[in-house]
């Protein structure tokens, strides 16, 4: 028997073991029923179940469910459709999913399977930096398919996203600081001018006095 702190108590009759567990307001749990004699432990069974459930939830948070996404091609696919489907493949790989590239042959197309194989080989070459080939193009009936898997793990992709986010935030902060530095200089330049300052104000005040002196002689001539 094991107590609630992990210490060995020894072999006890069932009645005494239950009595000891109840005296501590805990449960007596059989953890190894096949042993001779069976091994029991004193614990808070409700708390134990809660902790186990919590551990399972935490483990699920860090798990990535890998699914296989299928992208279908035709042997007469044009360049635009090919590029669109290739971008889908790259997006699925970046999300951590596997990709099954499939080509269906209909009727007389079965005589041109080499065209389908060429399309898949082209796709494998185009997405090589982001993928690894799990299965080379193989034919099953009227279907030709290849399976691609992401080259980087989910952890590596998450680190890259965090790095890109930090670099973007750093660039934004730098741009903001440069704008703040430029703003005071531009305001000062706009405020300074030929008509600003105390000297310019004094000149403006002197102008009315000159005008009054010019009017005085005319008034004197009219009076005479």
The per-residue pLDDT for range 78-114, each reduced to its tens digit, is 889 999 999 999 999 888 889 999 999 888 888 888 8
- Tell me the pTM: 0.44
Distance CA 127, CA 149 (A): 10
DSSP state string for 182-194? HHHHHHHHHH--T
Tell me, yes or no, whether 33 lies in a domain.
yes
Tell me, yes or no, whether 149 lies in a domain.
yes
List of residues 6+ apart from 113 with CB closer than 8 A: 105, 139, 144
Tell me, yes or no, whether 123 lies in a domain.
yes
Tell me, yes or no, whether 42 lies in a domain.
yes
pLDDT value, residue 188: 46
Q: Which two tokens stand for residue 194?
A: 């030929």
Give residue 114's domain range: 68-153
pLDDT value, residue 159: 65
Q: How many domains does the chain have?
A: 2
* 3-class secondary-structure state, position 103: strand
Task: Report which of residues 154 and 150 the model is more confident about.
Answer: 150
Beta bridge partners of residue 98, listed in sequence order: 68
Mean pLDDT of the chain: 78
The per-residue pLDDT for range 169-222, each reduced to its tens digit, is 888 888 888 888 877 555 544 444 445 444 444 444 445 444 444 444 444 444
Read off the pLDDT of each residue in 49-76 and give the average, rounded to a whole number: 83
Tell me, yes or no, whether 162 lies in a domain.
no
pLDDT value, residue 187: 52
Q: Which of 63, 135, 65 is nearest to 99 (CA)?
A: 135
Q: Model confidence at 156, in pLDDT bands (50, 70, 90)?
A: low
Q: Domain check: are 53 and 73 in the same one?
A: no
Tell me, yes or no, whether 165 lies in a domain.
no
pLDDT value, residue 62: 67
């Amino acid at each position: 028997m094991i107590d609630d702190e992990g210490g060995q108590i020894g072999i006890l009759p069932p009645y005494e073991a239950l009595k000891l567990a109840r005296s501590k307001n805990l449960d007596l749990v059989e953890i190894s029923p096949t042993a001779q004699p069976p091994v029991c432990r004193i614990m808070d069974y409700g708390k134990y179940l809660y902790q186990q459930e919590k551990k399972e939830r935490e483990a699920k948070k860090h798990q990535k469910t890998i699914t296989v996404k299928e992208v279908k091609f035709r042997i007469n696919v044009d360049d635009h459709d090919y590029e669109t489907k290739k971008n889908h493949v790259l997006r699925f790989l970046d999300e951590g999913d596997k990709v099954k590239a499939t080509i269906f042959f209909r009727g007389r197309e079965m005589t041109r399977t080499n065209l389908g194989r060429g399309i898949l080989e082209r796709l494998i070459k185009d997405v090589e930096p982001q993928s690894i080939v799990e299965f080379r193009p193989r034919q099953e009936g009227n279907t030709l398919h290849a399976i691609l898997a992401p080259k980087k793990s989910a952890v590596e992709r998450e680190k890259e996203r965090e790095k890109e986010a930090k670099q973007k935030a750093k660039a934004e902060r730098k741009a903001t600081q440069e704008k703040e530095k430029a703003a005071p200089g531009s305001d000062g330049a706009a405020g300074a001018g030929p008509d600003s300052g105390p000297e310019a104000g004094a000149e403006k005040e002197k102008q009315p006095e000159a005008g009054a002196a010019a009017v005085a002689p005319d008034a004197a001539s009219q009076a005479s």
